[in-house]
Chain A
Amino acid sequence: MERTTLDLWVGIFVVGGIAALVMLAMKVGNLGTYNVSEAYQVHAYFSNIGGLKPKASIKSAGVLVGRVTDISLDMERYEARVTMSLDKRYQFPKDTAAKILTSGLLGEQYIGFDVGGDEAMLKNGDELKMTQSAVVLEDLIGKFIYSKAEGSTN
């Protein structure tokens, strides 16, 4: 087949478009930074998850170690069951506690791990027994007003 300048231009166009897509995926998106290939699942029950959403980050000592994959309501306990997918590179003791925390004053909610001292490590399908629910602003204000009222009568 003969080569024409037209082919060259079309080639430049297609290569440029694909380069733009790759740039979007790697530089703008998170494809280059987060890999879910090696992961194990654990779950935990919370009495209130506040504004936690699927795909929220899980951090230990501030380092991203996994993501929330699923949130559902357990109909026997009436508690939220949160399934988490953790990176295989990070192993945690069995008595690790999960807390729902907020980044910044009004920021996104994430799960923070307080690492325990157990010898045995968490395995796929295990449950985190110790949890701390999200702090709901209305509850906090309610408690504050209640304690104020109590304080004034004494």
Chain B
Amino acid sequence: MPVAKNLRSIGRRVVSAVWRVGLATRFFLLTLAYSGTSFRRFHLTIKELFSTGVMSLIIIIVAGLFVGMVLGLQGYETLKRYGSESALGVMVALGLVRELGPVVAALLFASRAGSAMTAEIGLMKATEQITAMEMMAVNPIARIVAPRFWAGVISMPLLAAMFSAVGVFGGYFVGVIQIGVDEGSFWSQMQAAVDFREDILNGVIKSFVFGTVVTVIALFEGYDAPPTAEGVSGATTRTVVTSSLAILMLDFILTAIMFRGN
């Protein structure tokens, strides 16, 4: 019976997906519980901050610059029709601070840093380094996972803020310097429309949530990867796919909660 077989395989997939969600939650709680080491021996976290945060700087800054420039160009083309080019600054800043900054920075972070984390931990597992640590009574979650988790959580809001800041200057470069929108109205309308708590802090909260989710997914996929070459490559792919989808879905939910009815 092909129908029954298909149904059974769908059911098995759903059950295993729910199972993995449960495992990931337990893994997340364990990471939180064993986080003490990553603050007591802070150089472990510093090292991870370097490889996740500092190494992502270039891609974040270049991407932010170009996204801001495109926003400036496209925004100008549309706003020109309504004779309100002076609102270009508002459009660029709100678009970046509320949405594009946190979301695009998180997507880049997932593919730049998240995939590296998964591959690193997956390979550690495949070469039995994690088992060796357990043999030496070193808790691998406290020693390997927790510092990476906190590095991701700390660096994500900083990267998103840099993305938005650089993007605003990209929009300024195209809008004011190249096209010739009035500089005064560009900044003053922006300052009048962008609220610190409502827009900027909500953007920071968003990127904090994204940072947590991406890092947990990346670490869990690495820790849970089958200890083979295919297993690690599959886990890396799953990290990028799952965390990208999670970012976009969470973004909708967070936006609906934060900006509804304003």
Q: Which residues of B contact A (CB under 8 A)?
A: 43, 46-47, 49-50, 53-54, 57, 93, 97, 154-155, 157-159, 161-162, 164-166, 168, 187, 190-192, 194-196, 199-200, 204, 262
* Of A12, A18, A29, most B-chain CB atoms within 10 Å: A29
Query: What are 7 A-B pairs with beta-carbon distances under 8 A?
Result: A10-B49, A10-B53, A14-B49, A17-B158, A17-B162, A25-B196, A29-B200
In the bound assembly, the distance between CA atoms of A27 and B166 in angstroms comes to 12
The answer to whether A23 touches B191, judged by C-beta atoms less than 8 angstroms apart, is no
> Which residues from chain B contact A32 at a C-beta distance below 8 Å?
191
Interface residues of A in 26-44 (CB under 8 A from B): 27-33
The answer to whether B47 touches A6, judged by C-beta atoms less than 8 angstroms apart, is yes
- Interface flags, A13-27, vs B, CB<8A=1, else 0: 110111011011101
The answer to whether A17 touches B161, judged by C-beta atoms less than 8 angstroms apart, is yes
In the bound assembly, the distance between CA atoms of A53 and B97 in angstroms comes to 22
In the bound assembly, the distance between CA atoms of A30 and B187 in angstroms comes to 11
> Which residues from chain A contact B57 at a C-beta distance below 8 Å?
13, 16
With A10-B49, A10-B53, A16-B57 already in contact, 8 other A-B pairs whose C-beta atoms are closer than 8 Å: A10-B54, A13-B49, A20-B161, A21-B157, A21-B204, A28-B190, A28-B200, A30-B196
A-B contact count (CB 8 A): 83
> Which residues from chain A contact B43 at a C-beta distance below 8 Å?
1
State whether the Cβ of A7 lies closer than 8 Å to any Cβ in chain B. Answer: yes
The answer to whether B158 touches A14, judged by C-beta atoms less than 8 angstroms apart, is yes
A-side interface residues, number (CB < 8 Å): 25
State whether the Cβ of A146 lies closer than 8 Å to any Cβ in chain B. Answer: no
Question: Smallest distance from the beta carbon of A150 to chain B beta carbons, Å?
Answer: 36
Closest to A17 in B: B158
Question: Smallest distance from the beta carbon of A130 to chain B beta carbons, Å?
Answer: 28
User: A13-B57, A14-B158, A16-B158 given as contacts; is B46 within 8 A of A28 (CB)?
Assistant: no
Closest to A23 in B: B165
The answer to whether B158 touches A6, judged by C-beta atoms less than 8 angstroms apart, is no
The answer to whether B155 touches A13, judged by C-beta atoms less than 8 angstroms apart, is yes
Closest to B166 in A: A20
In the bound assembly, the distance between CA atoms of A28 and B195 in angstroms comes to 9
The answer to whether B200 touches A16, judged by C-beta atoms less than 8 angstroms apart, is no
The answer to whether A29 touches B46, judged by C-beta atoms less than 8 angstroms apart, is no
The answer to whether A9 touches B50, judged by C-beta atoms less than 8 angstroms apart, is yes
Closest to A15 in B: B158
In the bound assembly, the distance between CA atoms of A9 and B157 in angstroms comes to 17
> Which residues from chain A contact B192 at a C-beta distance below 8 Å?
30
> Which residues from chain B contact A29 at a C-beta distance below 8 Å?
97, 191, 194-196, 199-200
The answer to whether B199 touches A13, judged by C-beta atoms less than 8 angstroms apart, is no
In the bound assembly, the distance between CA atoms of A25 and B195 in angstroms comes to 8
B157 CB contact (under 8 Å) in A16, A17, A28, A31 = A17
The answer to whether A33 touches B191, judged by C-beta atoms less than 8 angstroms apart, is yes
The answer to whether B162 touches A28, judged by C-beta atoms less than 8 angstroms apart, is no
> Which residues from chain B contact A30 at a C-beta distance below 8 Å?
191-192, 194-196
Question: Smallest distance from the beta carbon of B102 to chain A beta carbons, Å?
Answer: 12
Question: Smallest distance from the beta carbon of B90 to chain A beta carbons, Å?
Answer: 10
Question: Smallest distance from the beta carbon of B257 to chain A beta carbons, Å?
Answer: 18
In the bound assembly, the distance between CA atoms of A17 and B207 in angstroms comes to 13
In the bound assembly, the distance between CA atoms of A13 and B48 in angstroms comes to 12
